[in-house]
Chain A
Amino acid sequence: MLQLAAPETALAITVLMVLAVDLIALRGQTVEQRFRAGMRVSIIGCLVAAIFTFTRYEGPVINLMNGLLVVDPQTDFLKVVLLILTIFTVMISASGKFTEHVGEYLSLVLLGTIGLMFLVSAEDLLMIFISLELASLSLYILTAFNKRNARSSEAALKYFLFGGMSAAFLLFGFSLLYGLSGSTNLPEIAVALKGRGLDPLLLVAIVTTVIGLGFKVAAVPFHLWAPDAYEGAPTPSAAFIASGSKVASFYILAKILTLGFAGAEGSAVWHGYVSGWTPVIAVVAAFSMMLGNLTAIVQSSVKRLLAYSAIAHAGYMLLGVLANTPSSRTALLFYVITYALTVLGAFGVVTVVEEATGGDAITNFAGLSSRAPGLSLCLLVFLLSLAGIPPLAGFIGKFFVFSAAVGADAGHLGLLWLVILAILMSAVSFYYYLQVLKQAYVLDAAENAPAIKVPLVTMFALVLLAALVILLGCAPGLLTRHL
């Protein structure tokens, strides 16, 4: 069993080591030096965990204790992705000046990652809930980490209260499911529910589960925490919430719905509505796309803009969930992973600009292309990928998800209405991404604004992320063959 959980165990040991190194060895050093040392330890820990995962990759599928820990190639691959995202998060945090508690900060990031890794392996309601809470509690604290900024605490409180509510909803839904089926294991629940039809209890269970998980993925109408949390949190924390947490949450959302509620799908096709979970998701997706994109237009803070764009993207990803075919699962995972890489990069750029100019308003990006040409080229790649411009990864992801959604009901093109909405909304999104790029490339910086010095580690991470975004757009096969 320890062998199966070896990556997570390695990470847990790393957590302790990071704390110990920071507390014992680095007392009295500057924050910068402590961050550098802590970063090295964390990255090595993540790499060791990734190696553990790799050594058993494409090994047999193992289901431990009836779904408490399921290990198969797909979960292994996702764990590696989560570890990579964590490494990048740590790298863009390394130049941060938002805290002196370096050890605590890094160990919380790693603890969150452990929670997310257990989450993707869980097929049992209890395990899902526990690992979700482990991840969420770390994220709440990470949000509050900037002690000198009242906005940070406010955001964390808001995030925590909403999170607590949604956890209660999720637990309520799970308890109903257990009552209906007598099991906490997802496939067993599906078997027990088969043939029961949609009784009111099951409907309540579906709705409360969607509420609980809809909060995690920031879908409308459970999105209210997201803009404040993204804006108030230290930028690297926001990047982690938007990337790693999103990947795992979407994976588990798709797993619960397609595995646990198999047989209660219903249908969201035009003129062919059947109640079940897909219509619920369809409505949530439609509202997320509309509200996210339309509200992002009027934002003046780039972090808030990215938050609303995250809500919109959650809408597109939900299309991948509700298409519910084998190819749509691949499409969804491709989308979520490339989105996570892209948004991590975007937040990385925001981190640097914030440090250099003192704010994240859109106008702070004015003249970025002359103040930091490399940085603004990375920003160009990330934002255009988010907008869905080919040949970047974001476009291919959108194409996969949209075509999977239309293809789910190929005979009647029943989900086309939702895809048309998604495509038109994505055309809207181009406007606000272009507003940021306009500042960077078209407008001039204020007189004698100095060049922005980008920390070497951050620049390295950003260039790598940008290269990945381009590479996965040009050769998506590199990723899809693992999904």
Chain B
Amino acid sequence: MLAWTIYISFIGVLVLMLLPREAARAARIIALLTAVAGCMVAFTGSVQQPNPGEVMTIVKVPWIPSIGASYYLAADGISLVLVVLTGLAAVAGILFSWNIEKRTKEFFAFYLALIGGVYGVFLSFDVLLLFVFYELTIIPKYFLIARWGSTRKEYGAMKLALYSFVGSHLVLIGLIAAWVVARAQTGHATLDLMELSKVSFPLGFQHWVFPLVFVGFGILAGLWPFHTWAPTGHVAAPTAGSMLLAGVVMKIGAYGCLRVAMVLLPEGVRMWQGEIAALAVIGIVYGAGVALVQRDFKFVIGYSSVSHMGFVLLGLATLNTIGLSGAVLQMFSHGIIAGLLFAVVGRMVYDRTHTRDFNDLQTMQLGKLLPFAGVTFVLAGVASMGMPGFSGFVAELQVLMGAWRVFPKITMLAGVGIVVGVAYILRAMQKAFYSDAPVAGKSSHDHPLEPISTPERIGAMMLIAASLVIGLFPGLLLNWIQPCLNSALFERLLKGGSL
């Protein structure tokens, strides 16, 4: 059933392509219906999964028998979490791009193609298939930003596309090498993730292939120092584009790190564990520090994404159950909260005021003009800081607990990152919404701002609710994640390995 998340999205793309160009309203509605249908399928399919600890095969048919590739879609608890996240982010993104007037149908066609590819990545258990879906997301991303974006859009789009493509090619080198070695060892060609995860790759091989694959996926997860696409890409993208970039695209990077690099090469992770943790913490502190001094509102959120994704990577590096489950939870949580923050900055503020410069925003008293935007930003902001009751708190707490056991020193540095995180959110909140700077000469009352529309309200409330529900009842997701980490697939990774 979950496979229909992918199919529905691509059917939506086809339908949109056949629409006449002028039918903007129809395009919006079709896109929304497609996304909602995908989200419902994701929800019901996930809830119906009887045992999230096991890998449930959805479909498995031979695809290219000569190299052992199959069309193998499956899901375990971790996939479920991320599929649900994708469903939510997809619906929210469309609600926040209701005002796209320029070539509407093409915008939503690219948008749904991106969503379909992301669902595919989370559900593939064949390495080649996963790679196919992974690369499939690059093209829509590029066009969404280059065509419908803002500040330096062509530069940002090209930078993101090239970073993604180079990253995926590093992965490809690793995949081909692993495929050849596995074939030499087992005697038959396979690209099945479950089978490959049983192969013991030689230690020397793991030592050099692991960083290749991990960095290849990590580029998209915002791994410092390869994160530089993230701020420019996020800022250049249209609102829905940044929501998806931060909400799900960065997650497919982190998911690839966990699902492919770490599961296939467990000894490799152990060899590079310290380095990954160090890079992750540098990312946390650096992202937060740079966010603190930005003048552009969107850059603050862009760098905050780098910082929060650092927690995901730190969680992955811990190699213990609590750290890993924190990492997956953080993927979900950041997907929701970052999406909301970008929605406020891009849609609610920038589309109305046409500026993101704090110096200009300071004089506008947006807190009074757009109270809904102000309140949403406050809620999203405190969720992002890690306020208990929101999802971010549970996730980051688990990551830090996991990391404390392994690397106590750098975990303290990560704590510094959290404090700075509070500071940049408060600064942004104060400057953008609740400044007491005198109102500028040309009062904004002259051109009253368009009020917050219904789709925006629905989208914002949906995301806040998701973050609150998971914050109050983290068990909902942890019941999916934790059995999965105790399953056979993660055994070698978490229990000292077979070598």
- A residues contacting B by CB (< 8 A) are 327, 330, 369, 384, 389-391, 395-396, 399-400, 402-403, 406-407, 410-411, 413, 416, 419-420, 423-424, 426-427, 430-431, 434, 438, 441-442, 475-477, 480
Query: For residue B177, which residues in chain A have a CB less than 8 angstroms away from its CB?
Result: 406, 413, 416
Instruction: Tell me which residues from 192 to 225 in chain B have a Cβ below 8 Å from any Cβ of chain A.
Output: none
Bound Cα distance A202, B165 (Å): 43
Report yes or no: A477 in contact with B181, Cβ–Cβ below 8 A. no
Pick the contact of A442 from B138, B147, B162, B165 — CB < 8 Å? B147
Report yes or no: A399 in contact with B161, Cβ–Cβ below 8 A. no
Given A430-B161, A430-B162, are A413 and B180 neighbors across the interface (CB < 8 Å)?
A: yes
Bound Cα distance A480, B166 (Å): 28
Given A423-B172, A430-B165, are A384 and B143 neighbors across the interface (CB < 8 Å)?
A: no
Bound Cα distance A66, B166 (Å): 50
Query: For residue B181, which residues in chain A have a CB less than 8 angstroms away from its CB?
Result: 410, 413
Pick the contact of B173 from A369, A407, A420 — CB < 8 Å? A420
Given A327-B66, A480-B66, are A427 and B180 neighbors across the interface (CB < 8 Å)?
A: no
Report yes or no: B65 in contact with A410, Cβ–Cβ below 8 A. no
Report yes or no: B162 in contact with A431, Cβ–Cβ below 8 A. yes
Report yes or no: A390 in contact with B173, Cβ–Cβ below 8 A. no
**Is residue B131 contacting chain A, with contact meaning CB distance below 8 A?**
yes
**Is residue B59 contacting chain A, with contact meaning CB distance below 8 A?**
no
Closest to A435 in B: B158
Report yes or no: B184 in contact with A411, Cβ–Cβ below 8 A. yes
Given A410-B184, A430-B165, A434-B142, are A390 and B176 neighbors across the interface (CB < 8 Å)?
A: no
Interface CB pairs A-B, < 8 A, 26: A327-B66, A390-B131, A390-B135, A396-B64, A399-B172, A403-B179, A403-B180, A406-B180, A407-B180, A410-B183, A411-B184, A413-B177, A419-B173, A420-B173, A423-B169, A423-B172, A427-B162, A427-B165, A427-B166, A427-B169, A431-B162, A434-B142, A441-B147, A442-B146, A477-B66, A480-B66
Measured between C-beta atoms, what is the minimum distance from A405 to chain B in Å?
A: 9
Measured between C-beta atoms, what is the minimum distance from A427 to chain B in Å?
A: 4
Query: For residue A438, which residues in chain B have a CB less than 8 angstroms away from its CB?
Result: 146, 154, 158
Measured between C-beta atoms, what is the minimum distance from A22 to chain B in Å?
A: 41
Query: For residue A399, which residues in chain B have a CB less than 8 angstroms away from its CB?
Result: 67, 128, 172, 176
- B residues contacting A by CB (< 8 A) are 63-67, 106, 128, 131-132, 135-136, 138-139, 142-143, 146-147, 154, 158, 161-162, 165-166, 169, 172-173, 176-177, 179-181, 183-184
Given A410-B183, A413-B177, are A403 and B67 neighbors across the interface (CB < 8 Å)?
A: yes
Given A403-B179, A406-B177, are A426 and B169 neighbors across the interface (CB < 8 Å)?
A: yes
Report yes or no: B136 in contact with A391, Cβ–Cβ below 8 A. yes
Query: For residue A480, which residues in chain B have a CB less than 8 angstroms away from its CB?
Result: 64, 66
Query: For residue A406, which residues in chain B have a CB less than 8 angstroms away from its CB?
Result: 176-177, 180
Report yes or no: A423 in contact with B184, Cβ–Cβ below 8 A. no
Report yes or no: A442 in contact with B184, Cβ–Cβ below 8 A. no
Measured between C-beta atoms, what is the minimum distance from A420 to chain B in Å?
A: 6
Report yes or no: A390 in contact with B136, Cβ–Cβ below 8 A. yes
Bound Cα distance A37, B166 (Å): 49
Query: For residue A416, which residues in chain B have a CB less than 8 angstroms away from its CB?
Result: 173, 177
Bound Cα distance A463, B63 (Å): 24
Measured between C-beta atoms, what is the minimum distance from B459 to chain A in Å?
A: 27
Query: For residue B66, which residues in chain A have a CB less than 8 angstroms away from its CB?
Result: 327, 330, 477, 480
Query: For residue A424, which residues in chain B have a CB less than 8 angstroms away from its CB?
Result: 166, 169
Report yes or no: A477 in contact with B161, Cβ–Cβ below 8 A. no
Bound Cα distance A352, B139 (Å): 24
Q: A402-B172, A430-B161 are in contact. List 15 more A-B contacts (CB 8 A).
A: A389-B136, A389-B138, A389-B139, A391-B132, A391-B136, A395-B132, A403-B180, A407-B183, A413-B180, A419-B176, A424-B166, A430-B165, A431-B162, A475-B63, A476-B64
Query: For residue B135, which residues in chain A have a CB less than 8 angstroms away from its CB?
Result: 389-390, 395
Measured between C-beta atoms, what is the minimum distance from A263 to chain B in Å?
A: 25
Bound Cα distance A242, B166 (Å): 27
Report yes or no: B176 in contact with A442, Cβ–Cβ below 8 A. no
Query: For residue B183, which residues in chain A have a CB less than 8 angstroms away from its CB?
Result: 407, 410
Closest to A473 in B: B132
Bound Cα distance A406, B131 (Å): 19
Query: For residue B179, which residues in chain A have a CB less than 8 angstroms away from its CB?
Result: 403
Report yes or no: A442 in contact with B143, Cβ–Cβ below 8 A. yes
Pick the contact of A400 from B67, B169, B180, B184 — CB < 8 Å? B67
Pick the contact of A477 from B64, B158, B162 — CB < 8 Å? B64
Query: For residue A369, which residues in chain B have a CB less than 8 angstroms away from its CB?
Result: 106
Query: For residue B172, which residues in chain A have a CB less than 8 angstroms away from its CB?
Result: 399, 402, 423
Bound Cα distance A475, B71 (Å): 11
Query: For residue A410, which residues in chain B have a CB less than 8 angstroms away from its CB?
Result: 180-181, 183-184
Measured between C-beta atoms, what is the minimum distance from A294 to chain B in Å?
A: 15
Query: For residue A390, which residues in chain B have a CB less than 8 angstroms away from its CB?
Result: 131-132, 135-136
Query: For residue A396, which residues in chain B have a CB less than 8 angstroms away from its CB?
Result: 64
Bound Cα distance A65, B176 (Å): 43
Query: For residue B169, which residues in chain A have a CB less than 8 angstroms away from its CB?
Result: 423-424, 426-427
Bound Cα distance A7, B177 (Å): 43
Query: For residue B63, which residues in chain A have a CB less than 8 angstroms away from its CB?
Result: 475
Query: For residue B173, which residues in chain A have a CB less than 8 angstroms away from its CB?
Result: 416, 419-420, 423
Bound Cα distance A96, B66 (Å): 42
Query: For residue A423, which residues in chain B have a CB less than 8 angstroms away from its CB?
Result: 169, 172-173
| Among all A-B residue pairs, the 8 with the closest Cβ atoms | A390-B132, A410-B184, A427-B169, A442-B146, A430-B165, A406-B180, A407-B180, A427-B166
Bound Cα distance A142, B154 (Å): 40
User: Which of A327, A423, A480 has the most chain B CB atoms inside 10 A of its CB?
Assistant: A423
Bound Cα distance A423, B128 (Å): 16
Bound Cα distance A438, B154 (Å): 9
Query: For residue A431, which residues in chain B have a CB less than 8 angstroms away from its CB?
Result: 158, 162
Bound Cα distance A413, B176 (Å): 10
User: Which of B65, B176, B181 has the most chain A CB atoms inside 10 A of its CB?
Assistant: B176
Bound Cα distance A330, B161 (Å): 32
Measured between C-beta atoms, what is the minimum distance from A475 to chain B in Å?
A: 8
Bound Cα distance A384, B140 (Å): 12
Measured between C-beta atoms, what is the minimum distance from A309 to chain B in Å?
A: 16
Query: For residue B128, which residues in chain A have a CB less than 8 angstroms away from its CB?
Result: 399
Measured between C-beta atoms, what is the minimum distance from B175 to chain A in Å?
A: 9
Report yes or no: A402 in contact with B161, Cβ–Cβ below 8 A. no
Query: For residue A403, which residues in chain B have a CB less than 8 angstroms away from its CB?
Result: 67, 176, 179-180
Report yes or no: B161 in contact with A434, Cβ–Cβ below 8 A. yes
User: Which of B172, B179, B184 has the most chain A CB atoms inside 10 A of its CB?
Assistant: B172
Measured between C-beta atoms, what is the minimum distance from B133 to chain A in Å?
A: 8
Closest to A434 in B: B161
Measured between C-beta atoms, what is the minimum distance from A187 to chain B in Å?
A: 27
Bound Cα distance A395, B165 (Å): 13
Query: For residue B158, which residues in chain A have a CB less than 8 angstroms away from its CB?
Result: 431, 434, 438
Measured between C-beta atoms, what is the minimum distance from A379 to chain B in Å?
A: 13
Query: For residue B64, which residues in chain A have a CB less than 8 angstroms away from its CB?
Result: 396, 476-477, 480
Closest to B165 in A: A430
Report yes or no: B143 in contact with A441, Cβ–Cβ below 8 A. yes
Query: For residue A430, which residues in chain B have a CB less than 8 angstroms away from its CB?
Result: 161-162, 165
Bound Cα distance A419, B154 (Å): 31
Query: For residue A426, which residues in chain B have a CB less than 8 angstroms away from its CB?
Result: 169
Measured between C-beta atoms, what is the minimum distance from B103 to chain A in Å?
A: 8
Report yes or no: B154 in contact with A477, Cβ–Cβ below 8 A. no
Closest to B185 in A: A410
Bound Cα distance A441, B109 (Å): 13
Closest to A330 in B: B66
Closest to A389 in B: B135
Bound Cα distance A118, B177 (Å): 38
Bound Cα distance A442, B106 (Å): 11
Given A407-B183, A430-B161, A438-B154, are A384 and B139 neighbors across the interface (CB < 8 Å)?
A: yes
